[in-house]
Structures are given as structure tokens and as C-alpha cells.
Chain A
Amino acid sequence: GIQVEQSPPDLILQEGANSTLRCNFSDSVNNLQWFHQNPWGQLINLFYIPSGTKQNGRLSATTVATERYSLLYISSSQTTDSGVYFCAAPWTGNNRKLIWGLGTSLAVNP
């Protein structure tokens, strides 16, 4: 099945800084998603981005499907951006089953 790897595993930023999170996947995908899990465990779907670029406020994501990676950009970071960012892709042969990376743990300091 597909493997999903994220980097870096941990990131510490000063408020206002920008950052880029990376997600590599081992096989071609027709569905790539980014999620944010806040420190209390709530998961929020950020982007559904099988290819191309999308933006939502200070966040944007780009997926280059042919090269099997996706990037999540966070600009002008805020303390509320803290938490874990996950990317997930469907397991080959079963689009209902998402395979998740281990996440990037982000801490934004005031």
C-alpha cells in the first residue's frame, strides 16, 4: 500500500514567521488531504488537493502529483496555528481508507 511521509516532524516558530510543511507519498494518488489537529485533539480538514494549488487565508497548499509530494504553506503564523498537521492519501484500491502520515508538530510562540 501507499506510504505517506511528512517533514519536518517538529517545528517551532515565532509568531509572524512563515513555514513550509512537506508530505511525500510513495504512489500516485487521486486524493491528497491536509488536516490540522489542535492541542485538544480536534481534527479539521484544511485542504482536499489532489493536484495544483489552493489558498485559504494564510494557508495554502500545492500538490505536484507527478513528483508525489505536497506542500503546506503557513504565512504570518499565529499561536492558534499550533498543533499537529497531517497529510493523508487513500490506500491503493480502496478510496474509503485514508493512509495518514505521522504529522508535523508545530508550536508557534508569542
Chain B
Amino acid sequence: ETGVTQSPTHLIKTRGQQVTLRCSSQSGHNTVSWYQQALGQGPQFIFQYYREEENGRGNFPPRFSGLQFPNYSSELNVNALELDDSALYLCASSLGTQQNTQYFGPGTRLTVL
């Protein structure tokens, strides 16, 4: 158990729909990073939120957006879903913005039909 929770566990959507994934960070952590992991691949960095502001972004289009709340929990929103968005979405919380102290949640498995 890492203390990081994600919801929902699984989700099925159709092309064109919108989805919101949620992450609760470990107590005391102020940074949340989001990753997309396609089947058989390593995680791909989407973006990071630090103290409610986006603090670094990977090579993902603007239809991937996020929020961080005052309690440091976070949401990942994906608009206009595409089939290739099917993946495991992982969030990781940390104290500060350096990557070496990340704790990962169990992930949300998104399937786009």
C-alpha cells in the first residue's frame, strides 16, 4: 500500500466521449504526476501538478488536461476519446517536484470502444 488511491478502477467509454479520472495523493504530498501506460509499454509522462499549477508536460495533446485541488488531490480529464487512449492511467504523488520520491496509485484501466 502506497497511500495513493485512484478511481475508478476500470472504465469503458466510446470514441468521442469525455472521461475524468481521479487521484488522491499520499498524506503530506503536494505533487501529483500522471502517466499513461499502453499494454506492453513503459509509462509515458503526461503532466505534473505542483501546488495546484501544471509543472511540466509530456507529448500529449491539449485534450488531455488536469486539475489539482487545495488538498492536493488531482483529476485527469480526456476529451474526444480515441481508441488509442485505451491504457492504464497511473498517478504518482511526491513531496516536491523531483521524481525520486514518487509513490504510485493502483491505476485506472480505461478501455475506449
Q: Chain A 76-91, CB within 8 Å of chain B: the 1/0 string?
A: 0000000000101011
Please measure, in the bound complex, the distance between the C-alpha atom of A101 and the C-alpha atom of B56, giving whole angstroms.
20
Q: In the complex, what's the smallest C-beta–C-beta distance from A88 to chain B, in angstroms? A: 7
User: Given the complex, which residues of B lie within 8 Å of A42, measured CB to CB?
Assistant: 2, 104, 106-107
Please measure, in the bound complex, the distance between the C-alpha atom of A90 and the C-alpha atom of B32, giving whole angstroms.
16
Indicate if A95 sits at the interface (CB-CB under 8 A).
yes
Question: Which listed residue, B42, B48, B97, B106, touches A101 by the CB 8 Å rule?
Answer: B42
Q: Chain B: how many interface residues by the 8 Å CB criterion?
A: 26
- The answer to whether A96 touches B97 (Cβ under 8 A) is yes
Q: In the complex, what's the smallest C-beta–C-beta distance from A33 to chain B, in angstroms? A: 6
Question: Which listed residue, B42, B56, B90, B101, touches A88 by the CB 8 Å rule?
Answer: B42
Indicate if B58 sits at the interface (CB-CB under 8 A).
yes
Q: A96-B48, A97-B45 are in contact. Are A31 and B100 (CB under 8 A)?
A: yes
B positions within 8 Å CB-CB of A: 2, 33, 40-45, 48, 55-56, 58, 88, 90, 92, 97-104, 106-107, 109
